[in-house]
Amino acid sequence: MKLRLALAAATCLSLPLVAHAQPISGPYVGLEAGTAFENAVSATGSFPAGAPALNTDIRSDAQIAGFPGAEFGGKFHYNESYAGIGSIGYGFGDGLRVQVDIDYIHNTPTKAEDGFGGAKLGKYDNKFGPMVNVLYDIPVNFPVIPYVGGGIGYQFYNSDYQADIDGLGADGGPGNINASVTQGSFAYDAIVGLSFPIDAVLPGLALTAEYRFMQITGNEKNGLSVVGGYPTGSAVPGTLKTGQESLNIVTVGMRYALFPAVMMAPAPTPAPMASPAPAAAKTYLVFFDWDKYSLTPRATQIIAEAASGSKTSSVTTIDVSGYTDTSGTPDYNQGLSERRAKTVAAKLVEDGVAASEISIHAYGETHLLVPTGPGVREPQNRRVEIVLN
């Protein structure tokens, strides 16, 4: 069993982890195998009145040895053995599942104590039957998903006990007590487990590890006979009654969702909308007569157009830059270009433009619109540029 658990753990560790596994939605099947530990149960044996006295006392110290019709009692103990569980279920997609299990549990009786005189037991004690369980997968952000549940069902007994007792025989040699039964009883169970989805191997497939406690509510009544325990050597029938039985079952297995939910790929992130290109700056040119900074009628008209344009578009700043031609000295031209720029800015304010929006620049005879040599009177270089940004 330890080897099987180690192999299962190694398999889990070798597979890629799956986070945020989807709850089971729809039908699924499962198969588990493991070990069953049956707790000690009380047992009471009796023979009919008038039966011949036994050659040995297998009753409690409070009873008279060999007294016909008396009862004797104690406890039966069992070795751990194997169990198998097949399941078919349905998941509702929210962690809740309903599952029908068919189990087979085999245990081996080993010892009868107290009134049975410490006799060695043998043969088998089997249970099998259906259980209907409701389970819930606990939502956690881990690759391993815990679940809990429980349910009710019906378990059949198929038991055969044999107690070998030294000195029970008619001649003082060994004898044995035999008891067997096939019957059934209601049962209930409680379940805790872990599942490990391995969708990378097969979508819908998961490894499971589970513990369940099962309680059988009925009493087991066996036919009892003693062979070799009477002077006549005959087998006299009696009754063996065991108390309610309980088991601890540990299993590992696999579960497969028949129609696993398809993992939807995340919707592609829409490409960001391209920001609209900023509107091109609009430029107005105001020309001046030679060595003048006063406005001509045409210049006044152009400035009015610029003022109007600044109000009908998203204008944040207005650059007003003054220039001259190359006639005259550079220092003089620098001052003249500044006077021209200020004249235009004043007219813009007069036409309704806020002074805070206007930025004034003076460049003198630099940045010529028409390249010329020094001392050249070029009309297009005598200008102010109004740029709406």
Same structural domain for residues 227 and 359?
A: no
DSSP output for 247-292: EEEEEEEEEEESSPPP-PPPPPPPPPPPPPPPPPPEEEEEE--TT-
- pTM of the predicted model as reported, rounded to 2 decimal places: 0.56
Same structural domain for residues 93 and 215?
A: yes
Rounded CA gap, 284 and 324, in Å? 16
Q: Is residue 229 part of a domain?
A: yes
Same structural domain for residues 294 and 246?
A: no
Look at 279 and 3; give whichever has higher pLDDT. 279
Q: Is residue 63 part of a domain?
A: no
Q: Is residue 372 part of a domain?
A: yes
- Answer whether residue 261 shows pLDDT above 80: no
- Mean per-residue pLDDT for 83-100? 96
Helix (H) or strand (E) holding 34: strand 25-38
Return the structure tokens found at 187: 């049962």
Same structural domain for residues 240 and 105?
A: yes
Same structural domain for residues 8 and 100?
A: yes
pLDDT single digits (tens) 223-237: 666 555 444 445 556
Q: Which of 223, 257, 291 is the last residue of a domain?
A: 257
Q: The domain containing residue 338 runs over which residues?
A: 282-388
What confidence score (pLDDT) does residue 232 get?
Answer: 46
Q: Is residue 157 part of a domain?
A: yes
Same structural domain for residues 237 and 292?
A: no
Q: Which of 213, 241, 257 is the last residue of a domain?
A: 257
Rounded CA gap, 362 and 3, in Å? 92
Q: Is residue 274 part of a domain?
A: no
Same structural domain for residues 119 and 174?
A: yes
pLDDT single digits (tens) 277-328: 555 678 999 999 999 999 999 999 999 998 888 888 777 788 999 999 999 8
Same structural domain for residues 196 and 291?
A: no
Q: Which of 257, 292, 320 is the last residue of a domain?
A: 257
Rounded CA gap, 77 and 117, in Å? 13
Same structural domain for residues 341 and 308?
A: yes
Q: Is residue 273 part of a domain?
A: no
Q: Is residue 50 part of a domain?
A: yes
- Beta-carbon contacts of 27 under 8 Å, excluding residues fewer than 6 positions away, are 88, 89, 90, 91, 257, 258, 259
Number of folded domains that form the chain: 2
Same structural domain for residues 143 and 211?
A: yes
Same structural domain for residues 214 and 291?
A: no
- pLDDT > 90: percent of the chain: 47
Q: What is the CATH number of the domain that holds 237?
A: 2.40.160.20
Q: What is the CATH number of the domain that holds 309?
A: 3.30.1330.60
